[in-house]
A and B are shown apart, each in its own frame.
Chain A
Amino acid sequence: MSQTLQVGLKGVGLVGPGLENWGQAEAVLRGDQRYQAAPLPALKPQQLPPNERRRTTQLIKLAIQAAGEAQQHSGIDAAELACVFASAEGDSWIVDRLCEALCLPQKPVSPTQFLNSVHNAPAGYWGIAAKAQRFSTSIAAGSASFAAGLLEAAAYVAAEGEPVLLVAYDVALPQPLAPFGDSHAPFAAALVLTTAKEPGLLAQLRFDASAEVSSRALCGELAALCRDNAAAEALRLLLLLARAESGAVRLGYHDNSELTLALQC
């Protein structure tokens, strides 16, 4: 892996069970507030008009709510942000509905559900809402999806010098798929990444295999969330950010390997 890929962190957004937004998650990660697992807060992403909110799914709303928070936090115009959307499973609830419909004699596939079934549906809705016409991609890399999204976003910043919105998100698989897959909790994290020279950064991030890894660890419940949702891997990084501690973290990558990411506050 590269030893030199370096970017700036300009904004954060987050939604998860018992975590309404980055502000609350920051307090939990800093240790000011005890983590209490709770159902996902009601999702009302302001970026989507009400009629679109009704047509879209929980996965789309989850991704867009985190994306909107990070974009606003960064202070960068949404239309100026390139996008990387990363999800390990995609919209498994729609897969369930579509496969259910295909078991019926008339095969009553809903056109809206079919459209929403594409892996880049959240990126498409975000792009329309944000009038974002730049680069946008949607990726999957299994349990490595957060690290793969971060690499893709950082490589884009390095190549183009433009800011990127990274959104990592997954929901729990529905029945009857749940026993066969890995995603068992909803979670989304979004980061706005810029060049490392951008003013007003929250931190600088650097892929650096030789960096010393912080001993700071997530509490048991949040570590469990990382196992139940590939996007929650972001919490390992955000733990240091919330505490304003410089250090390095290991992010899960393919075949049980890890990428070492150094954070400089």
Chain B
Amino acid sequence: MSYTPLVLSRYTLVNALGRGAGASLEALRASRSGLRENDYAPAPLPTWIGRVDGIEEEPVSGVLAPYDCRNNRLARIGLEQDGFAAAVAAARARHGAARIGLFLGTSTSGIEETEQAYAGRDDNGALPAGYRYRQTQNPYSLGDFCRQYLGLSGPAMVIATACSSSAKVFAAASRYLAAGLCDAAVVGGVDSLCQNTLYGFNSLELVSTERCRPWDVARNGINIGEGAGFALLERAAEAGGQVALLGYGESSDAWHMSTPHPAGEGALAAMRQALARAGLEPAAVDYINLHGTATPSNDRSEDRAVTSLFGSATPCSSTKGWTGHTLGAAGITEAIFAALAIEHGFMPHSLHTVAIEPGLEAGILLAPREQSVNVAMSNSFGFGGSNCSLVLGRVGA
């Protein structure tokens, strides 16, 4: 299982911590959470959310105005941070627009638009004439929008495997490059607040009324967040970044639609595969960014999987207490958190976690740590038993 690392030659993030990867870095180091008491008016549930400020005031305009919806607004805001769109334009000049693939993850696309359209139906039940299904609600609308925004004409698709979506984009991009279908790739993920996820997770009794506390004995569910993240992946020789994707692993629980395998078998298989592809032993991993949603069963299952492979010594944390669970954007968000940890030599802790549940044995960080990180793992697991684990490391290390 040999794998040629791909460099993250540019990356960017937008989430409740702010706009740009620097805002996330600053908040992670300062232990400043982005969670707030739920003020998303369409779904006034008693919970905390990770909301991005200002989306309402920044519609998509110009020729792409038909794509205007909360999800594509968030995508556009993301593409404009950290010089990302400009870096893609430069890559387009290097590789050609047709040779850059686009692989994006989302779980709910622009469904907020459909929620509003249903609320605005006329007496005959017809949706408002201005409603644009293809450009907003359709699962590919995010890919369609970003492909046009970035001026790309290579292979493109959206991966929608719930909360592992934007981790799996790294694996898909890797295979497309290996098969010669493209020479570089834009990967990423975007998910935005909507009634469906808030009321949906609430119907499953998985939404916490407090700030989420991964691994804590009193943890009682997730906080929903929104976010966008993008990375430009290129082969090492032609890229300027400091962090590379060293390996990935993908597996299926084949167990239950919403509950992970109790012993974390699927998660374990994904982590093992990612390490094997990277050619690394578990001991080489300096930090693990857990999926860590803070539901009782998810954390317990992941704890079993992580400790059976790494024991209790490897420092790990869930960063859901900073951003909330950004669902289809969680994979890219946390892969980039891992990249920030490597680039800046620090490990974020599990914010809001106070007392670890007895019996859980992973090496959860309860305080931030300034320490060099050469190799980091990021886990993402989703409904349907979809697991993805990524290993990132310093270029040339």
Contacts and interface: CB of A to CB of B under 8 A. Distances in A.
Given A1-B181, A176-B126, A181-B133, A136 B115 contact: no
Contacts of B138: 88-89, 140, 142, 181
Given A1-B155, A102-B199, A133-B253, A158 B147 contact: no
B307 interface: no
Interface in B105-162: 107, 111, 114-115, 117-119, 121, 125-127, 131-134, 137-140, 143-144, 147, 153, 155-162
B385 interface: yes
B132 A180 contact: yes
A194 B366 CA distance: 47
Given A114-B203, A134-B251, A140-B138, A5 B257 contact: no
Interface stretch (B168-176, B222-230, B283-291): B168-176
Contact of B384 (A98, A118, A133, A135): A118
Contact of A5 (B144, B181, B200): B181
A99 interface: yes
A107 B44 CA distance: 11
Nearest to B172: A152
A24 B157 CA distance: 32
Interface residues of B, number: 66
B188 to A, nearest CB: 15
Contacts, number: 212
B258 interface: yes
A131 B161 CA distance: 18
A159 B179 contact: yes
Interface stretch (A28-36, A120-128, A215-223, A243-251): A120-128
A176 B127 CA distance: 6
A57 to B, nearest CB: 13
Contacts of A156: 175
Contacts of B107: 118-119
Given A117-B196, A135-B252, A177-B133, 8 more contacts: A99-B111, A102-B119, A111-B200, A114-B196, A131-B254, A144-B157, A152-B157, A181-B133
Interface of B: 43, 107, 111, 114-115, 117-119, 121, 125-127, 131-134, 137-140, 143-144, 147, 153, 155-162, 168, 172, 174-176, 178-181, 195-196, 199-204, 250-258, 265-266, 269, 382-386
